[in-house]
A and B are shown apart, each in its own frame.
Chain A
Amino acid sequence: MNIVVLVKQVPDTWSERRLRADDSTLDRDAADAVINELDDYAIEEGLRLQEAHGGEVTIVSMGPQKAADAIRKALSMGADKAVHVTDEALRGSDGLVTSAVLASVLGRTGFDLVILGSESTDARMGTLAAMLAERLGVPQMSFASKVETDGSKITIHRQADYGYDTVEGALPAVVSVVEKINEPRYPSFKGIMAAKKKPVETLSLADLGMDASQAGLAASATQVVSFANRPPRAAGTIVTDEGDGGAKAAEFLASRKFI
């Protein structure tokens, strides 16, 4: 089975994240860069399906030069090869542009199954699976907490507030996963050493037959027009216990709809 896992490098959720003052895009220098957390689960699921059904796992990532670190980590977990789309003209691309670029890459690599995290921790649009499926004309199997396939048909549990739906579709398909799906493995040291020798194809927009005018901030359908930093945390409410502290605390929580 030809499995493609989409990986995005994002600023570490544990560090302070900022937007740039000049064009309201992500300030990538402000924070450590890591693999998007949900993508770890996507990689793990790809590797498990490969272990069960054979075939290859290809990592596809669109991002700056530095995203090569995220790709290498994915390869050290066990993926076979990677495609890195990097081009200065891509900076500031929104979801629609990103999905167009990735669809073009997937057209080159071919695929039976595309797996991705259900959202990224930076932009948090959560729409890429839908956009990609639409562009590729294949079923969209989103928010999967379980994936089963026999090689021609795919069944997932789609995670929902009330439990899960069982959804079935035909391959090829696009699957987005939630963190409930598995427990991602750590890379191994042997995997780290092997990753050095695995092929990584680097593609520019021109390599994909796309023009710089079709990508980046200017070509994006959506743009951040302004932003405000989160206000500093306000002082908390102090409940003085005069024998009725429990009731007052409960009232406060109820007023905020916590209970």
Chain B
Amino acid sequence: MAGVEREARDETTAALFALASQIAADELRPRAGAAEQEGRFPREVFATLGKAGLLSLPYPQELGGGGQPYEIYLQVVEELATAWLAIGLGVSVHTLTCFPIATAGTSQQQDRWLPGMLGGDQLGAYCLSEPDSGSDAAGLATRAVPDGDEFVINGVKAWTTHGGQADFYTVFARTSGEPGGPGRAQGISCFHVPAGTAGVSAAPPEHKMGVRSSATAQVRFEAARVSSRQLIGEPGRGFPIALAALDAGRLGIAACATGVAQAALDCAVGYARQRVQFGRPVIDFEGLQFMLADMATAVAAARALYLAAARRKDAGLPYGQQAAMAKLLASDTAMRVSTDAVQVLGGYGYVEDFPAERLMREAKMLQIVEGTNQIQRMVIGRQLARSA
């Protein structure tokens, strides 16, 4: 498979794309199927990515990052996700977890933690959702109570990607107000919590429909003590940080979804070219060829939309609505294209000998994470109502 031809702006980005596709071909693609079946978290692959500098691409070089615009970083995420979603997703989630300190942390906090977080050795996890607070994130109940120069955190976080595997957790907890009370969003604060902190533990990983090699787990905070120096941003100003991080994170999910859709398209086209029925390759039958044409068009549209949103972000323009659109379109595309890929392969699409069924299971997750697609529509629709 020749792979997606990307628009590199110069030799450096061309070399970066070549590096990502080499790692995808050599380290990711050969292992993805087996690791998904075993449900084994591939920590060593993240070590390889970290050494190669692919875990810190969009952060400034002064902070230890790669200094790349989102337009470039996201194409690397797509490339990795095309080969193995759990890895592309992991890179996107890790990038999300670094967002609060990189954008709202003090220079002391950045100096102290970012070299490790962006250095490639560490992996982060993002703790916002709770068992009873998902789409309604402002209703979170985990509490951080001040005690002298410390905060004591109690609560349970749900659906945490890298839960139990991460080296640090970016945690949103309530420092004032009630989950159902007035001004509840103004009572949320953001904390940097190393995984080794006493009182922090992870439940066994969830048994998911797909993306099983990525660990998803509840994370428990039982009288976990953190220093007030680990508070990111002002107390009570955590929720805007969480939402800003999610705007950026959604672009990562859109890139991942485009990757899954591309993988499903590659699988379907490859099969349709070599599968012979009635004396000719099935791709020569218009019924299938038109289906593949629609799939290819949808993948190109998803890619174009996330890149358009990324260019707005890179230019410093508001991009929340566009990021929501990109996440919505790309993940719905991944679902439809992977479902159609199973159809193109017929019986072979429904069994584990081909990746089509796995990609279909993986696509479903992307319509749910970092804001369900109903929440994306809410974000887009509210903007319409406001600007009307």
Contacts and interface: CB of A to CB of B under 8 A. Distances in A.
A188 B51 contact: yes
For the complex of A and B, the 9 pairs showing the least CB-CB separation, nearest first, are A189-B53, A188-B53, A192-B15, A186-B52, A189-B66, A188-B52, A190-B53, A187-B19, A192-B12
Interface in A179-230: 185-193, 195-196
Interface string A156-196: 00000000000000000000000000000111111111011
Contacts of B19: 186-187, 189, 192
A26 to B, nearest CB: 22
Interface string B1-23: 00000000001100110010011
B227 interface: no
A195 B14 CA distance: 13
A186 B23 contact: yes
B12 A193 contact: yes
Contacts of B23: 186
Q: Contact residue range for chain B?
A: 10 to 19
A51 to B, nearest CB: 14
Interface string B40-68: 00000000100111100100000000100
Interface of A: 72-73, 76, 185-193, 195-196
A190 B52 CA distance: 8
Contacts of A195: 15
A72 B14 CA distance: 12
Given A188-B52, A189-B19, 9 more contacts: A72-B11, A186-B19, A186-B23, A186-B51, A187-B19, A187-B52, A190-B66, A191-B53, A192-B19
Contacts of B16: 189, 192
Contacts of B54: 189
B87 to A, nearest CB: 14
Nearest to B48: A186
Contacts of A196: 11-12
A187 B15 contact: yes
Interface centre among B16, B19, B22, B23 (most CB of A within 10 A): B19
B55 to A, nearest CB: 10
Nearest to B57: A189
Contacts of B57: 189
A195 B48 CA distance: 20
A191 B54 CA distance: 12
A63 to B, nearest CB: 18
A186 B53 CA distance: 10
Contacts of B15: 72-73, 76, 187, 192, 195
B269 to A, nearest CB: 19
Contacts of B12: 192-193, 196
A116 B213 CA distance: 39
9 contacts: A73-B15, A76-B15, A186-B23, A187-B52, A188-B53, A189-B16, A190-B53, A192-B16, A192-B19
Interface in B237-256: none
Nearest to A195: B15
Contacts of A76: 15
A95 B276 CA distance: 47
A107 B160 CA distance: 60
B11 A186 contact: no
Interface centre among B53, B57, B66 (most CB of A within 10 A): B53
